[in-house]
A and B are shown apart, each in its own frame.
Chain A
Amino acid sequence: MISARSTSPLAVEMRGITKRFPGVIANRAIDFEVKPGEIHALLGENGAGKTTLMNLLCGLYEPDAGEIWLKEQRVWLRSPRDAIAAGIGMVHQHFKLVEPFTVAENIVLGSNRTLLREAPKRLNLRLQRLADQYGLNIDPSAQIWQLSVGEQQRVEILKALYRQANILILDEPTAVLTPQEAQELMATLRMLASQGTAIVFISHKLNEVMAICDRVTVLRDGQAVGTIAIQDCTERSLAKMMVGREVSLFRNREDEAQTTNHKPQSASPPALAIKNLWVISDRKLPALRGLNLVIQPGEIVGLAGVDGNGQRELEEAIVGLRAIDRGEILLTGKLAHIPSDRYSMGILTEFSVAENLVLKDVQHPPFQWKGLLRINYILKHATDLVQQYLIRTPSVKTQVGKLSGGNAQKVVFARELNRDHQVLLAAQPTRGLDIGATEFVYAQLLARRDAGAAILLISTELDEILSLSDRIAVLYEGEIVGEVDRASADIHHLGLLMAGKRERARDEE
């Protein structure tokens, strides 16, 4: 089997690929290869060039230098159409599906060249057969917006298979899935690989890469650090390759058992108490349905759950951006808020670092005097915070929109944590951040907890919840379906709760 693989032509061979964007070199002379039937991880931090490299392979960009070979044939992929014709299918991180269309309509979009459409019944039947053939559970007549994220991902995979892709690229495919859905995806990918499909698995989650891939290519700063067989590496060695130095994130995860002995001040009154909270979503449906949650000073409560189960609405209700339908939120002290979408709620991208840092205090002295801004104080304040929070910015007058995601998030942290607060609401605080910035965020959150703040951590990353929380609550369809102490938390049980299997999860115990 192994020898057959090594003699068969490479499915993909990229040689010396260079891609420049204005001001940055996203890919610098990268060599990358995938064998048929192999699951090959493309690992790297945000901005390392993974997505750019794969966008070159699926025809969205053209390389400035270098060659792409498929099955020992030189190819020029000038458009997604060329890539599709060459058998390359990509499942993007943000799905490219038309929401009001049916599954079937999305799958055949662009590939049926007849004038008249195929009769829906016949089409659905045909696609049902295709789905069954690959063991993918999909209803072709359902509309996309009715589907869960995991189902939508299956639609994307089936769409690629319908176009007879023999090279399948998945960009951070598990980021939006429950652990169970991720397990299902892994099984599907293994099955496809066993049928000879070459699979590229883009990720920054080391445990997944270790669990499913045959080989891994690590990118850092637009360059390929190396390609190794998975049996020759460990999570720690991969992390080091990825970041270029030893990483302390693992200490949090592995040694957390000791630090969680930390006792919240449960005798004191709760800092944040949410009682029977009902909130209506933009779609005019109840997004939160009688949610109850209490947080004591000095503890981090992690709210786990798949995206779209009411996290956004809860966040907005707590900070007062969304009206409460029923119930109450009791807050003792002041609130600091790390918003889930920093670009729409946390910062003004067109404003400078200094302006963003005083955004909430600009009406108070010393930043204003009789309605006039006191620029010197504002700049001094910004310079101090930039040093204190290690924000990497050319100057305090730089627009925040020009900073990397991690540094923009540091601006939010600096502003929020520098203000007086007893309760901290951190929603998806590491979304889109690389390992270095994630380390920073974790350290800040733990430091605030140790200083006595009550922290509500809303996150869809279960690893993050497990690393930081003292107590874990699971949100499903607007309700808390389970609450466990960190010490007794078990990932399988949490996964079942996140999938809404409240009763069965209990029965199994």
Chain B
Amino acid sequence: MWAQVLTWSFGVALFTAGIRLAVPVLLAVLGEIITERSGVMNLGLEGVMLVGSLAGFITAHSIEQSTGMISVAAWGGLAAGLLAGAVMGWIMAVLTVTLRSDQVVTGVTLVLLGQGLTSYVFRQNAGLAGARVKGLDSWAIPGFSDIPIVGDILFNHNVMVYLTAVLVFLCWFFLFRTNWGLELRAVGENPAAVDTSGLRVDHIRYRAVMLGSALAGLGGAVLTVVQLNIFTENITAGRGWIAIALVFFSRWQPGGAMIGALLFGIADALQYRIQALGFKNIPYEFLLMLPYVLTLVALLWRTGRSAAPAALGIPYVKGER
């Protein structure tokens, strides 16, 4: 049986799938990095991803059914996921930035809202159970995809994979090379400094929370529209929580987020493959656990809050010292 595992083709397939599976989590991690860099901890990520995944799926499904245009349906679905995420972010921002409610409690409540809302809508629409969408085809990058091994692993994916890789760079560029990014990070470190510099702390935080949640919503939509092509209840299966753990792992750096998400994605791909190979003596529940356990173990040797934004989790009250 080990002979089947230790082959080139197994390795290539593993890494190819790992990269693909990393995408939804990576989008959520990037989003949460932006949110937390502004000083807001959005623990509602799991709920945001779920709402994004359902909004995306319903939109893609109905466009596909009514027009038959597959790629329009997929992109429409992804856009819907993005928007739905932003709406969830707006709710989070109203509660935590304007009303200054506790971020941890509010975040957890947002998860419950996402789970309840998506389960309700899913059960109300009998047509959704068993429905499928076509999603996005792979697009091999001409020239690069012919490179042996590397070409297969890196350059033979659907467009969302490439886009996400670009987003990692854009995210870094936004945070560290633009004035917006400077102001956003300043709010996360010392909001009073930003306030007295003549900027609106609340505006910056609203933008950060909504942008971050939009990316998480997009991640949810990628999962249902592009990868699994179906929707079931709780389809995100804790990826939102993993994303929060990976933000710590990444030390709030987009590059670190990519490494963390790939680790999770590859572990996820590995557990699928081991299941398929039929290691009968390992209960499949343990295999399902594998990516989560690995992520938590990886987190252990990157502990320490030293890299965290200083004002993370603290509501800003004007005029307080």
Residues of A within 8 A of B (CB): 55, 58, 60-61, 79-81, 83-85, 90, 92, 94, 96-101, 105-106, 109-117, 159
B189 at the interface (CB under 8 A from A): yes
Contact call B193/A117, Cβ cutoff below 8 A: no
Contact call B319/A94, Cβ cutoff below 8 A: no
Contact call A109/B310, Cβ cutoff below 8 A: no
- Extra inter-chain contacts (9) besides given A60-B196, A80-B198, A84-B198, CB under 8 Å: A55-B319, A58-B196, A60-B319, A84-B197, A98-B189, A110-B194, A112-B179, A113-B179, A115-B180
Q: Nearest Cβ in chain A — how far from B174, in angstroms?
A: 10
The 6 closest A-B pairs by CB, nearest first: A110-B197, A81-B198, A96-B193, A110-B199, A96-B196, A84-B198
The majority secondary structure among interface residues of chain A is loop
Contact call B190/A96, Cβ cutoff below 8 A: yes
In Å, the complex CA distance between A412 and B182 comes to: 43
Q: Nearest Cβ in chain A — how far from B203, in angstroms?
A: 11
In Å, the complex CA distance between A114 and B181 comes to: 12
**CB-CB < 8 A to A110: which residues of B?**
183, 194, 197-199
Q: Nearest Cβ in chain A — how far from B118, in angstroms?
A: 37
In the complex, the chain A residue whose C-beta lies closest to that of B311 is A98
Provide a sorted-by-A list of 12 A–B residue pairs whose CB atoms are within 8 angstroms: A58-B196, A60-B195, A90-B196, A96-B192, A98-B185, A98-B190, A98-B193, A100-B310, A106-B193, A110-B197, A113-B179, A115-B178
In Å, the complex CA distance between A58 and B192 comes to: 13
| A79-B198, A80-B197, A92-B196 known; A99+B179 contact, CB < 8 A | no
**CB-CB < 8 A to B181: which residues of A?**
117
**CB-CB < 8 A to A85: which residues of B?**
198
Contact call A116/B179, Cβ cutoff below 8 A: yes
Residues of B within 8 A of A (CB): 177-183, 185-186, 189-190, 192-200, 310, 318-319, 321
**CB-CB < 8 A to B200: which residues of A?**
79
In Å, the complex CA distance between A83 and B196 comes to: 10
**CB-CB < 8 A to B190: which residues of A?**
96-99
**CB-CB < 8 A to B189: which residues of A?**
98-101
Contact call B179/A115, Cβ cutoff below 8 A: yes
Contact pick for B193, options A55, A109, A111, CB 8 Å: A109
In Å, the complex CA distance between A156 and B3 comes to: 67
In Å, the complex CA distance between A116 and B181 comes to: 9
**CB-CB < 8 A to A112: which residues of B?**
179
**CB-CB < 8 A to A99: which residues of B?**
189-190, 310
Q: Nearest Cβ in chain A — how far from B36, in angstroms?
A: 15
Q: Tell me which of B192, B194, B198 has the highest count of chain A C-beta atoms within 10 A of its own C-beta.
A: B198
| A96-B190, A99-B189 known; A117+B182 contact, CB < 8 A | yes
Contact pick for A105, options B178, B182, B321, CB 8 Å: B182
The majority secondary structure among interface residues of chain B is helix
Contact call A116/B177, Cβ cutoff below 8 A: yes
**CB-CB < 8 A to A101: which residues of B?**
182, 185-186, 189
In the complex, the chain A residue whose C-beta lies closest to that of B318 is A60
In the complex, the chain B residue whose C-beta lies closest to that of A113 is B179
**CB-CB < 8 A to B198: which residues of A?**
79-81, 83-85, 110-111
Contact call A80/B182, Cβ cutoff below 8 A: no
Contact call B319/A117, Cβ cutoff below 8 A: no
Q: Nearest Cβ in chain A — how far from B12, in angstroms?
A: 40
Contact pick for A109, options B178, B194, B321, CB 8 Å: B194
Contact pick for B199, options A81, A94, A100, A117, CB 8 Å: A81
**CB-CB < 8 A to B195: which residues of A?**
60, 80, 96
In Å, the complex CA distance between A97 and B194 comes to: 9
Contact call B179/A98, Cβ cutoff below 8 A: no
Q: Nearest Cβ in chain A — how far from B306, in angstroms?
A: 10
In Å, the complex CA distance between A109 and B321 comes to: 20
In Å, the complex CA distance between A234 and B45 comes to: 64
Contact call B186/A109, Cβ cutoff below 8 A: yes
Q: Nearest Cβ in chain B — how far from A344, in angstroms?
A: 14
In Å, the complex CA distance between A98 and B194 comes to: 9
Q: Nearest Cβ in chain B — how far from A103, in angstroms?
A: 13
In the complex, the chain B residue whose C-beta lies closest to that of A118 is B179
Contact call A61/B319, Cβ cutoff below 8 A: yes
In the complex, the chain B residue whose C-beta lies closest to that of A115 is B178
Q: Nearest Cβ in chain B — how far from A214, in angstroms?
A: 27
In the complex, the chain B residue whose C-beta lies closest to that of A106 is B193
Q: Nearest Cβ in chain B — how far from A193, in angstroms?
A: 23
In Å, the complex CA distance between A462 and B38 comes to: 40
In the complex, the chain A residue whose C-beta lies closest to that of B306 is A283
In the complex, the chain A residue whose C-beta lies closest to that of B188 is A98
**CB-CB < 8 A to B197: which residues of A?**
80, 84, 96, 109-111, 159
**CB-CB < 8 A to B319: which residues of A?**
55, 60-61
Q: Nearest Cβ in chain B — how far from A26, in angstroms?
A: 11
Contact pick for A117, options B178, B186, B196, CB 8 Å: B178
**CB-CB < 8 A to B180: which residues of A?**
115
**CB-CB < 8 A to B310: which residues of A?**
99-100
Q: Nearest Cβ in chain A — how far from B44, in angstroms?
A: 27
In Å, the complex CA distance between A12 and B89 comes to: 43
Q: Nearest Cβ in chain B — how far from A101, in angstroms?
A: 7
In Å, the complex CA distance between A97 and B195 comes to: 11
